[in-house]
Every structure is written in structure tokens, then in C-alpha cells.
Amino acid sequence: MSSAEPRGPVDSSRIPRYAGPATFARLPRLDEVGAADVAVVGVPFDSGVSYRPGARFGGNAIREASRLLRPYNPAQDASPFALAQVADAGDIAVNPFDIGEAVETIQGAADDLLGTGARLMTLGGDHTIALPLLRAVARRHGPVALLHFDAHLDTWDTYFGAAYTHGTPFRRAVEEGILDTSALSHVGTRGPLYGRQDLDDDERMGFGIVTSADVMRRGVDEVVQQLQERIGDRPLYVSVDIDVLDPAHAPGTGTPEAGGLTSRELLEILRGLAGCRLVSADVVEVAPAYDHAEITSVAASHTAYELTTIMSRQIAAAR
């Protein structure tokens, strides 16, 4: 990026929020600014889901909800869109009938965007997309630390014999050596499993687990301290499945589980990661067909906003 002042969002005090194109946070398109420090990119793909489809529409639902975001983030005392150039890079168009081809397409497009020097804030789409995104990020940073916010482990082996689904990306990532297995954590997991072996396999891969009940009992501050210690100064990728939230806070998702985090808890944990080296992130599994009054999309838009703020602050501090 050049040293020119970043171009920010449309002024909502002059142009109504409901008017104009629904880019993320009403920011400029990537082709309008030429290059970006943080590229917000959608991946409308949900062919890897095991229950309710619809996350292919999640990215645009998040964009619509993000019309309500404002340019100053008081929780982080930062104006992220003034600190770095953030732009909406549109969607990666992928084959909905061929998961293997879709994974390759996502990886190639992510490689291209990262090759410009941008960090990625990806809007899914189902969790299958995390694998090609991690591959692309690891090409530039080596194996990365991972914070995985989710009701589910997503370290299963196969579904119906298929190795690439929304429940398998992190097992594949460990097998491929693109994750730093000394710095892997699930946050917000809960609900029934297929068997004890699921937890044994997950532990063998190197994951630590902070359940949703742990967050409730121990509190956000203690959880954040534990996560910071585990991550250290490693390059960090954050992957947020919106079903980490309780269905009361995120009904619009494909595989809801009772007993999840509140949106407040999720946002506070993310804000606690401000000192970590966040290299890219995703927010996935928003399925607007099941979303009542855009509750899920609003939560997802604020989640992406907090992650974007962290990246923008770090980019500005490095200049």
C-alpha cells in the first residue's frame, strides 16, 4: 500500500445507510482503490455442509448487516478504516458441484490477494473454505497458530467417505503441516460427539479446548490470558464459525447447538487478542434463511469488524 490517506466508508450522515451498494461497512471496492491492506472477500460456497445449507448467502447477508457499522471502534479506541486501507474485494466465484475444484479456486484467489500484501478478512460460506485459506496464509508465514471459535471440533476424518467437508478442515490442515501444533485452540465447543475418540484424536493433533462452559465459569479475562499465552508471538489465523454463539444469539446457521457463547463474550474475547499477530481471519456458517431479524448477520458483521480493527491497528503500528 502507498502512504496515501486511506479511503474510508460512505458518510452515513449524508447518505442513508440503506442506500447504495452493500459493500462491507460501506467501504470502497478493491477496484476503486487499487490495493488494500485488508481485503474483505466473500466465498459463497456451502457444498461441504452436513445439515442445513444456505451459507453461500452468508457473505452478502453480513455485508447488508454491516451497513450499521460506524468508523470509530470505541472498544479498541481506534478508527480502523483511517489506520489502513480496507476494501471489499467482492466474492471468489467457486464451483458449487465440485468441492475439490472449489478448494483449489479459493486457494488460488487467496494466494493472489495475499500476494498483493493484503491480509484477508473472509466472509463465508461454510467451514470447508478454511482449509484453502490456511494453505494460502501458510505459504507466506509458515505454519500458523490457530484460534478456532466453533461449537464443533471440525477435526473429523470424513463424512460419507468425503475428506473435504465443513467438519474436516482442521484435521486436513494438521495433516498437511500448515498449522503450528503447539498453538492450536478451539473456543466455545459444546454438545454431543460421536464418541470419546473424537476428543482423543483432537488432543493428539495438538488442540487445546476452551468450552463454552469454561468461558461462563472462568470469565473472559482468564480465557483471554490463556489464549494469549498459548499463541505467543506466532502468526495467528482466527476462524470463527458463527455457531460458536448460542442459537439465541445466532439462529441463522446450519448446525446450531444449545449452550453457546453470547455475542458479548465472543466480541470481548476477540478484543483481548489485540496484541497477537493476526495475519488473516474468517467468519463462516452464516445461513440467512434461518436468521430471524438479521440477529446472526449483525453478530457476524461485528465479529468481522473487531478482527478488521485488530489487523488495521497492527498494520498502522508497523509503518
Q: Does 148 show up as a binding residue in the annotation?
A: no
111 is in an annotated binding site: no
Yes or no: say if 35 and 71 are a contact pair by the CB < 8 Å rule: no
Backbone dihedral angles phi then psi of residue 299, each to the nearest 5 degrees = -60, -40
Which run of H or E residues covers position 41?
strand 38-43
Residue type at position 148: H
Around Cβ 255, how many Cβ atoms within 10 Å? 20
Q: Is 152 annotated as a binding residue?
A: yes
Distance CA 111, CA 210 (A): 31
Closest residue by Cα to residue 306 from 247, 258, 263: 263
* CA quadruple 102, 104, 144, 297: dihedral, nearest 10: -20
Integer-rounded Cα Rg, in Å, for the chain is 18
CA 226-230-232 angle, to 5 degrees, is 115
Nearest to 284 by CA among 176, 151, 184: 151
Q: Is 241 flagged in the annotation as binding?
A: yes
With CA atoms as reference, report the closest residue to 43 among 86, 87, 94. Answer: 94
Instruction: Find residue 35's DSSP bridge partners.
Output: none
C-beta of residue 239 within 8 angstroms of C-beta of residue 149: yes
- Listing from the earlier edge strand, what are the strands of the sheet with 179-189? 86-91, 38-43, 119-124, 277-284, 235-241, 144-149, 179-189, 207-211
77 is in an annotated binding site: no
Q: Per the annotation, does 166 bind a ligand?
A: no
Residue type, 317: A
Residues in the chain: 319
Q: Residue positions in the annotated binding site?
A: 127, 150, 152, 154, 241, 243
**Annotated binding site for Mn(2+): which residue ranges?**
127, 150, 152, 154, 241, 243
